[in-house]
């Protein structure tokens, strides 16, 4: 079931009882869900001068982050891969995108949609896709993450939102799959999630280039639930030892 409810001065997109997005049509810069606020912070850290970006979003729902990029960086070119056409139609009808937003929605999932994009298409690729509250495993296989790297420009970054809990099997698999193709990996999460006290969102930032970890740490130290940011050594210590996942048809 897909619905849009009023909430917190805006609108909440709900799919099968799971809260997917909060959208404030009057102020798209306002990011209510904490992890989305953290995604927005990372956009600002990666592109602090506000220049337009080329962004690919794997997962759309209410397109909150895409709206944020469009509002803060006009003339950005954005592609959203969202396979749920019924949900997209509902969002377009009830929460229309602003005119000339630069946001294009393609009715395809990330695993099928990424290979159709050209090499170096994106300055930033955001993987924030969920099915029944979890990242579809096919998006975290080594071949899928190789497609993520291919689509990025040489200086581009991938930002993955992975909901997980100790001992963090999904995060370990993602880190193991990312490092051969995007060797610089950092991570951010709430301290309670890091300490295995509760499940939560782990944000993975990966690139071919060194990452602005210090700036991310500074930005993440504010708010009601400050994030703990791990550099490459911290990621190895906390989330190392994983094995890259194979696609189902190639798994042994």
Q: What are the structural domains, with CATH classification, of the chain?
A: 35-239 (3.40.50.150)
Percentage of the residues of the chain whose pLDDT score is greater than 90: 78
Per residue in 175-205, pLDDT tens? 999 999 999 999 999 888 888 788 889 999 9
Find which of 37-41, 145-149, 247-251 is predicted with most confidence, using mean pLDDT.
145-149
Continuous segment of H or E residues that includes residue 56: strand 54-58
Whether the CB-CB separation of 191 and 228 falls below 8 Å is answered with: yes
Extract the tokens encoding 246.
């194979």
115-142 b/e (C-beta count within 10 Å ≥ 16 → b): eebeeebbbbbbbbbbbeeebbebbbbb
Q: Phi and psi at residue 222, in whole multiples of 5°?
A: -105, 170
Extract the tokens encoding 114.
């990424």
Extract the tokens encoding 185.
């990996």
Per residue in 212-238, pLDDT tens? 999 999 988 876 678 899 999 999 999
Residue 49 class from Cβ within 10 Å (0-12 exposed, 13-18 middle, 19+ buried)? exposed
207: CB partners within 8 A, 6+ apart: 152, 155, 156, 157, 158, 182, 184
For the chain, what is the mean pLDDT?
92
Q: Where are the alpha helices (DSSP H) in 9-59?
A: 34-46
Extract the tokens encoding 157.
């970054």
């Amino acid at each position: 079931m897909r619905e849009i409810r009023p909430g917190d001065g805006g609108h909440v997109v709900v799919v099968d009882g799971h809260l997917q997005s909060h959208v404030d049509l009057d102020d798209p810069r306002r990011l209510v869900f904490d992890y989305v606020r953290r995604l927005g912070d990372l956009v600002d850290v990666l592109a602090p001068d506000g220049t337009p970006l080329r962004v690919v979003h794997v997962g759309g729902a209410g397109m909150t982050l895409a709206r944020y990029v469009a509002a803060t960086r006009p003339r950005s070119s954005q592609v959203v891969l969202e396979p749920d056409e019924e949900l997209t139609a509902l969002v377009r009808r009830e929460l229309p995108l602003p005119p000339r937003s630069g946001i294009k929605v393609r009715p395809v999932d990330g695993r099928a949609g990424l290979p159709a994009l050209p090499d170096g298409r994106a300055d930033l690729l955001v993987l924030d896709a969920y099915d029944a509250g979890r990242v579809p495993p096919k998006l975290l296989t080594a071949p899928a993450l190789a497609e993520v790297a291919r689509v990025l420009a040489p200086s581009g970054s991938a930002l993955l939102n992975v909901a997980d809990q100790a001992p963090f099997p999904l995060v370990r698999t993602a880190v193991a799959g990312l490092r051969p193709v995007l060797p610089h990996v950092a991570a951010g999460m709430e301290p309670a999630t890091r300490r295995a006290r509760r499940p939560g969102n782990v944000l993975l930032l990966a690139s071919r280039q060194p990452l602005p970890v210090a700036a991310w740490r500074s930005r993440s130290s504010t708010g009601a639930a400050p994030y703990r940011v791990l550099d490459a050594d911290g990621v190895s210590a906390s989330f190392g030892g994983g094995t890259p996942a194979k696609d189902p048809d190639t798994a042994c």
